[in-house]
Amino acid sequence: MKITMIGAGYVGLVSGVCFADFGHDVICLDKDENKIEALRAGRIPIFEPGLQQLVAANAASGRLSFSTDLAKCVPDSEVIFIAVGTPSRRGDGHADLSYVYDAAREIAAHISGFTVIVTKSTVPVGTGDEVERIMRETNPDADIAVVSNPEFLREGAAIDDFKRPDRIVIGIDDERAREVMTEVYRPLYLNQSPLLFTTRRTSELIKYAGNAFLAMKITFINEMADLCEKVGANVQEVARGIGLDGRIGSKFLHAGPGYGGSCFPKDTLALVKTAQDHDSPVRLIETVVSVNDNRKRAMGRKVIAAAGGDVRGKTIAVLGLTFKPNTDDMRDSPAIAVIQALQDAGATVRGYDPEGMDNAGHVIANLIFASGPYEAADGADALVIVTEWNQFRALDFDRLKAVMKSPVLVDLRNIYRKDDVTKHGFTYTSIGRPD
């Protein structure tokens, strides 16, 4: 099939290259000429394992190309995906849909023949209706079916998630789109991945409900972790004990410094706003949002307590800045609030991250960057693990102790066992475990 992907950001690029890998002819379109130039030259603007190689292979085969020329790509396309950003609108937390609507308007003007328009961007319920209305208003002759097809890609595992999905959700209000979308996803369909066809509005809500549920699971276990610390229980064993119940499931029960990233914070907030607008508040999720927001800064206070209660004039080393490993994404990363809290309390913070330091420099002021974990720890009064990159899982504690001013480790991801750390002379604090 001939597919155009509008928006060569994270979702557009991963989806586009995977569709090309399925054998479709894909053009990834973006307004940013520098980005398109870079992609043509094989330079990938984001860090995502496996993406560079997959782009190179599919570009070489001729199935994947890049363009800024919407007017040229749209008439030949059978399917057009809208994968532009929907950031939180400044001030009110609603999703900003202006990029989606601009794309709809521009596409409509150049449509030729029956074309399926698919919204992949995360959009509130009813956006598909508005996309269709805008397109029909712009071009009353356009023969279109507007579809919702949310993505469920985790950063760092996006290609795998795309190729081995738990399910593919497709919301259609025009039956003609069913056959087209089945063809688009044929390799997965043949591979027994469930294609869930539903209405457009239901599909839009599934995306938000799914992310809100996962955010709620994380927040639940984080609150259990706090309780474990008070009552002397172990949150990892609580998570295992409840997770083995098939009705609960073991995933997304890792206690930590609070969820971050490009999806959960933005999507939970947008769901709260949509629900309020429809006089049907989701109080559970309102609470999840505020508990998670408070938690990130509270983690700063936890570090201060572990460092003796006062960090004024002290140096704190932070390992891991991105919101999770295997990405360079700093959006809503807990590290931002943790570092801010430490700096507000008078500490100097030195940070290291394998991929996120460029982006961290844009969002965290006065952070000193180190070239590795041991350089970060040099002369520090405490070492904090905020993000569980694999390279932090086997630190040489004797080497750390030799360079640190005082051997204090705060492990906000529970990647160590207490005994393995304290036997090297460290004091050790983690999340929800009797340390």
Number of residues that bind ligand UDX (CB under 6 A): 19
- DSSP secondary structure of 55-75: HHHHHHTTSEEEES-HHHHGG
Binding range to ligand UDX, per CB under 6 A, among 128-136, 180-188, 223-231, 257-265: 257-265
First to last CA, the chain: 57
CB nearer ligand UDX, residue 189 or residue 252 = 252
Least gap, CB of 76 to ligand UDX (angstroms): 30
Determine whether the annotation assigns residue 163 to a binding site. no
Q: What is the largest CA-CA distance in the chain?
A: 75
Q: Does 14 bind ligand UDX (CB under 6 A)?
A: no
Tally Cβ neighbours within 10 Å of residue 66: 22
- Report DSSP state, residue 307: T
Contact at 8 Å (CB) between 104 and 139?
no
Q: Does 389 bind ligand UDX (CB under 6 A)?
A: no
CB nearer ligand UDX, residue 249 or residue 425 = 249
Q: Phi-psi region for residue 366, left (φ > 0), alpha (ψ -120 to 50) or beta?
A: left
- The alpha-carbon radius of gyration of the chain (Å, integer) is 23
- Give the length of the chain: 435
CB nearer ligand UDX, residue 25 or residue 226 = 226
> Of residues 46, 118, 253, 385, which one binds ligand UDX by CB under 6 A?
253
Has 263 been annotated as catalytic?
Answer: yes
Q: Which of residues 319-378 bind ligand UDX (CB under 6 A)?
A: 323-324
CB nearer ligand UDX, residue 30 or residue 151 = 151
| Cβ neighbours for 34, distance < 8 A, ≥ 6 positions apart | none
Binding range to ligand UDX, per CB under 6 A, among 20-28, 137-145, 211-219, 294-302: 211-219
What burial letters (b/e) apply to 7-46, b meaning 16+ CB within 10 Å? bbbbbbbbbbbbbbbbebbbbbbbbeeebbeebeeeebeb
Least gap, CB of 255 to ligand UDX (angstroms): 7
Tokens for 40, please give them.
């043509």
Determine whether the annotation assigns residue 255 to a binding site. yes
Residue nearest to ligand UDX (CB): 263
Determine whether the annotation assigns residue 167 to a binding site. no
Binding range to ligand UDX, per CB under 6 A, among 104-112, 196-204, 224-232, 248-256: 248-256
Least gap, CB of 264 to ligand UDX (angstroms): 5
Determine whether the annotation assigns residue 90 to a binding site. no
CB nearer ligand UDX, residue 114 or residue 252 = 252
CB nearer ligand UDX, residue 66 or residue 152 = 152
| Cβ neighbours for 280, distance < 8 A, ≥ 6 positions apart | none
Q: Phi-psi region for residue 20, left (φ > 0), alpha (ψ -120 to 50) or beta?
A: alpha
> Of residues 170, 263, 318, 330, which one binds ligand UDX by CB under 6 A?
263
Q: Does 261 bind ligand UDX (CB under 6 A)?
A: yes
Least gap, CB of 322 to ligand UDX (angstroms): 9
Q: Which of residues 26-55 bind ligand UDX (CB under 6 A)?
A: none
Contact at 8 Å (CB) between 285 and 216?
yes
Determine whether the annotation assigns residue 253 to a binding site. yes
> Of residues 260, 356, 407, 432, which one binds ligand UDX by CB under 6 A?
260
Least gap, CB of 253 to ligand UDX (angstroms): 6
Least gap, CB of 94 to ligand UDX (angstroms): 19
CB nearer ligand UDX, residue 12 or residue 407 = 12
Contact at 8 Å (CB) between 256 and 224?
no
- Distance in angstroms (rounded) separating the CA atoms of residues 306 and 194: 48
Q: Does 266 bind ligand UDX (CB under 6 A)?
A: no
**Cα-based angle 330, 203, 200 (whole degrees, multiple of 5):** 125
Question: Helices marked H in 232-263 — which ranges?
Answer: 235-243
- Distance in angstroms (rounded) separating the CA atoms of residues 331 and 264: 10
Interface mask toward ligand UDX for 134-173; x: CB under 6 A? -----------------xxxxx------------------
Q: Phi-psi region for residue 326, left (φ > 0), alpha (ψ -120 to 50) or beta?
A: left
- 84: nearest Cα among 26, 168, 192, 12: 12
Q: Please state the residue numbers annotated as binding site for substrate.
A: 152-155, 207, 252-256, 260, 324
For ligand UDX, the binding residues (CB under 6 A) are 151-155, 211, 214, 218, 252-254, 256, 259-261, 263-264, 323-324
Return the active site residues.
Answer: 263
